[in-house]
Amino acid sequence: MTQAPRALPRVLRLFDITALASASMGPAYSLASTMGLMVVAAGSVAPLALLFLTAIMLCVAAAYAALSRVLPDAGSAYAWVRKAFGRTAGVYAAWILLISNVFATAATAMPAGIYTLDLLAPGAAGSPAWEAAVGAVWIIGGALLLHLGLRPTALTTAIFVIAELVVLGASAIAALLAHPVALSEPAVQIAPGIGGIVSAMVLAVWMVDGWEVSASASEETRNRDATAGRGGFIGLLLTCAVLLFAMSAYMRVGTIAGFSAHQADAMTYVAQRLGGRYWRWAIVATVLLSTSAALWTTLLYLTRSVYAMGRDGVLPRALGVLDDKGGTTRALVAVTALVVVLTLLNGFWSTAGSALQFVVEGSSVFLGLLFVGSCAAAVRLASLLGSGITGRIVAFSGGAALLSVIVVALLQADRTVRLVDLGLLSAGLLFTAARAGRVAP
Integer CA distances (angstroms), 102 to 140, 296, 303, 356, 373, in order? 14, 12, 10, 14, 18
**255-286: b (≥16 Cβ within 10 Å) or e:** bbbbbbebbbbbbbbbbbbbeeeebbeebbbb
pTM for the full predicted model: 0.88
On whether residue 339 sits in a domain, the answer given is: yes
How many whole angstroms separate alpha carbon 209 and alpha carbon 161? 16
Q: Are 195 and 413 in contact (CB under 8 A)?
A: no
What is the structure's pLDDT at 187?
39
CA dihedral sign, ordered 322, 100, 298, 110 = positive
Q: Are 150 and 11 in contact (CB under 8 A)?
A: yes
On whether residue 124 sits in a domain, the answer given is: yes
On whether residue 329 sits in a domain, the answer given is: yes
Q: Are 247 and 272 in contact (CB under 8 A)?
A: no
DSSP character at residue 317: G
> What is the end-to-end Cα distance of the chain in Å, rounded?
34
On whether residue 214 sits in a domain, the answer given is: yes
On whether residue 185 sits in a domain, the answer given is: yes
Q: How confident is the model at residue 182 (pLDDT cuts 50, 70, 90)?
A: very low
Mean pLDDT along residues 381-406: 85
Of 122-126, 303-307, 362-366, where does mean pLDDT reach its minimum? 122-126
Nearest to 113 by CA among 354, 276, 301, 352: 352
Residue 324 scores a pLDDT above 60:
yes
What is the structure's pLDDT at 248?
93
Q: Are 131 and 236 in contact (CB under 8 A)?
A: no
- 33: domain CATH number? 1.20.1740.10
For the segment 70-97, what is each residue's pLDDT rounded down to a tens digit? Answer: 899 999 999 999 999 999 999 999 999 9
Q: Are 202 and 209 in contact (CB under 8 A)?
A: no
Q: Radius of gyration (Cα) for the chain, nearest Å?
A: 21
Altogether, the residues listed in the chain come to a count of: 441
Residue 186 scores a pLDDT above 60:
no
What is the structure's pLDDT at 202?
84
Integer CA distances (angstroms), 12 to 74, 144, 153, 267, in order? 14, 19, 11, 32
Residue 356 scores a pLDDT above 70:
no
What is the structure's pLDDT at 192?
58
Torsion from C-alpha of 367, 369, 375, 379, nearest 10 degrees: -160
The runs of H, that is alpha helices, within 86-226 are: 87-120, 128-148, 150-177, 193-208, 213-216
Q: Are 74 and 310 in contact (CB under 8 A)?
A: no
Reported as type and span, the H/E element at residue 211 is none
Residue 336 scores a pLDDT above 90:
yes
Reported as type and span, the H/E element at residue 376 is helix 352-380
- 398-401 contacts, C-beta under 8 A, 24 or more apart: 398/56, 398/57, 398/58, 398/59, 398/60, 398/62, 398/63, 398/371, 399/59, 399/60, 399/63, 399/371, 399/372, 399/374, 399/375, 400/375, 401/56, 401/59
Of 54-68, 77-91, 352-366, where does mean pLDDT reach its minimum? 352-366
Nearest to 23 by CA among 204, 326, 234: 234
On whether residue 64 sits in a domain, the answer given is: yes
For the segment 200-214, what is each residue's pLDDT rounded down to a tens digit? Answer: 888 888 889 899 999
How many whole angstroms separate alpha carbon 22 and alpha carbon 335? 22
How many whole angstroms separate alpha carbon 134 and alpha carbon 343? 10
Domain limits at 115? 14-73+108-353
What is the structure's pLDDT at 327?
87
CA dihedral sign, ordered 106, 111, 112, 116 = positive
How many domains would you assign to the chain? Answer: 1
Mean pLDDT along residues 394-409: 89
Integer CA distances (angstroms), 324 to 152, 220, 269, 317, in order? 18, 16, 48, 17
Cα atoms in the Cβ-side hemisphere of radius 13 Å centred on 152: 8
What is the structure's pLDDT at 43?
85
What is the structure's pLDDT at 197?
85
Of 201-215, 325-339, 352-366, where does mean pLDDT reach its minimum? 352-366
Mean pLDDT along residues 338-353: 75
Nearest to 358 by CA among 103, 145, 89: 103
Q: How confident is the model at residue 357 (pLDDT cuts 50, 70, 90)?
A: low
Residue 185 scores a pLDDT above 70:
no
**197-214: b (≥16 Cβ within 10 Å) or e:** bbbbbbbbbbbbbbbbbb
Nearest to 284 by CA among 430, 171, 154: 171
On whether residue 232 sits in a domain, the answer given is: yes
On whether residue 86 sits in a domain, the answer given is: no
Residues 6+ positions from 301 with CB-CB distance below 8 Å: 24, 101, 210, 212, 213, 216
What is the structure's pLDDT at 361?
66
Mean pLDDT along residues 374-380: 93
